[in-house]
A = this chain, B = another copy of it.
Amino acid sequence: MPHPSSDRPLGVAVIGYAFMGKAHSQAWRNARAFFDTPAYEQKLLVGRDAEQAAAAAGRYGWQESTTDWRDVLSREDIDVVDICSPGYLHAEMAVAALEAGKHVLVEKPLANTVAEAEAMADAARRAAAHGVRSMVGFNYRRVPALALARELIAGGRLGTIRSVRSAYLQDWLADAESPMTWRLDKETAGSGALGDIASHLVDQIRFLLQDRVTAVSGRLHTYIPERPEAAAAGAPAEAPARKRQVTVDDAAWATLDLAGGAVASVEVSRVALGRKNSLQVEVFGDLGSLSFDLENLNELQFFDGTLPVRQQGFTRILATEPEHPYLSSWWPQGHVLGWEHSFVHEVADFLGCIRDGQAPSPSFDDGLAVQRVLAGVEESAAAGSALVPVDG
């Protein structure tokens, strides 16, 4: 019985206070001020370090903090669990929370392995039968310009989609002297750019086209195969850093076959010097086309091939009108939103689904499908890029 029979506000807990924990906390703090959500309270923040967790809780508006994530299972006043821990912990936490009757939001990617993702999707399906909701945090679905892109495609404005050209380019690892982290170790991170950012592209492609991936050819590459160990606290600065092995990719390429006949290309890199957070998606149909870049996230470029040729061209839609998705809740036209707002929309929609008894999207099944595609890329890469069938 996920819904408390009482009328008390939903109790929310978040696990994690690093980058994603901070972003999700900001979303929980703001959703209610702008969107019509069911009542909720920011009850509990879970973090590894007691002191830092307490500080983060105070800063981001959580009533309490703890270092034991299992507290969220046992506490009856927690109804919603938002999991922002590293990927290798997702499966255990999410399954337990779902089984405890908590609604679960998991930061992307759903898991580090297909097996974990399958277990999670199974748990989500079982929980859904009892009205427990689950969602995976591919937040870019809720960037207004991309939500608008989906609406234009759904409305037939692009006709039949022929191809997608996508990339997610960053450069925070471009410096070969940037130190080793858990994100560069296959044990903890699962994969590198592939899982971290190609996952967003695969989700976008599935979302925009509402289609399945049936086969992939892929390629992985690690430009910087070893990096200096991160300096230990108190270590003498002059000591030469020991080198450690990077065991994940820092760039990946793939082509995807979609069931409906489209072909999508994917390219990701965390060493693309000069590109900061550039998720680019171009969709080409037989009636129209779209282009988007996350570095200008308020803009969608739309080419309407049904207009007279003389006036055709890519139209820069500044997606800040009340008529655009999510915008009527914010500011007057032209007053642009930022990256973090996508999380506010995500949380608001998730809360709405809980209230209305609807299935949130993207579901754990969506997250699983993405995972299968990524696994297909790895398999293909290991086989000299040969095409492999996938069920994604």
In the complex, which residues 19-58 of chain A have their Cβ closer than 8 Å to any Cβ of chain B? Answer: 19, 23, 25-26, 29-30, 32-33
Please indicate the chain B residues that have their CB under 8 angstroms from the CB of A11 in the complex.
none
* Residue A115 interfacial (CB < 8 Å): no
Interface residues of A (CB under 8 A from B): 19, 23, 25-26, 29-30, 32-33, 59-61, 148, 152, 162-163, 165, 167, 169-170, 172, 174, 176, 217, 219, 221, 223, 251, 253, 255, 263, 265, 267, 269, 271-278, 282, 284-289, 291, 294-298, 302-305, 308-318, 320-321, 323-324, 331-341, 380, 383-387
Q: How far is the CA of A176 from the CA of B285 in the complex (A)?
A: 12
Q: Which of B61, B176, B289, B318 contacts A273 (CB 8 A)?
A: B289
Please indicate the chain B residues that have their CB under 8 angstroms from the CB of A295 in the complex.
298, 318, 334, 336
* Chain A contact surface mostly: mixed
Enumerate 23 A-B pairs (CB-CB under 8 Å) in ascending A order. Answer: A19-B332, A23-B331, A26-B33, A29-B29, A30-B30, A152-B311, A165-B267, A251-B263, A273-B287, A273-B288, A273-B303, A274-B289, A277-B335, A294-B334, A295-B318, A308-B323, A310-B323, A311-B315, A313-B316, A313-B317, A314-B316, A331-B340, A385-B387
Please indicate the chain B residues that have their CB under 8 angstroms from the CB of A385 in the complex.
217, 255, 380, 385-387
Please indicate the chain B residues that have their CB under 8 angstroms from the CB of A315 in the complex.
311-316
Please indicate the chain B residues that have their CB under 8 angstroms from the CB of A174 in the complex.
286, 305
Please indicate the chain B residues that have their CB under 8 angstroms from the CB of A217 in the complex.
217, 219, 384-385
Contact indicator B172/A332 (Cβ below 8 Å): yes
Contact indicator A284/B313 (Cβ below 8 Å): no
Q: Which of B33, B335, B341 contacts A61 (CB 8 A)?
A: B33
Contact indicator A272/B255 (Cβ below 8 Å): no
Contact indicator A335/B331 (Cβ below 8 Å): no
Please indicate the chain B residues that have their CB under 8 angstroms from the CB of A176 in the complex.
286
Closest to A339 in B: B335
Contact indicator B219/A255 (Cβ below 8 Å): yes
Please indicate the chain B residues that have their CB under 8 angstroms from the CB of A32 in the complex.
59
Contact indicator A334/B277 (Cβ below 8 Å): yes
| 9 A-B pairs with least C-beta separation | A277-B334, A276-B334, A274-B303, A338-B338, A217-B385, A384-B387, A313-B317, A386-B386, A315-B315
Please indicate the chain B residues that have their CB under 8 angstroms from the CB of A323 in the complex.
308-310
Which residue among A287, A288, A315, A316 has the maximum number of chain B CB atoms within 10 Å of its CB?
A: A315
Q: How far is the CA of A60 from the CA of B29 in the complex (A)?
A: 10
Q: A273-B305, A314-B315 are in contact. Are A336 and B297 (CB under 8 A)?
A: yes
Q: How far is the CA of A23 from the CA of B383 in the complex (A)?
A: 45
Q: How far is the CB of A364 from chain B (nearest CB, A)?
A: 26
Q: A59-B32, A219-B217 are in contact. Are A284 and B271 (CB under 8 A)?
A: yes
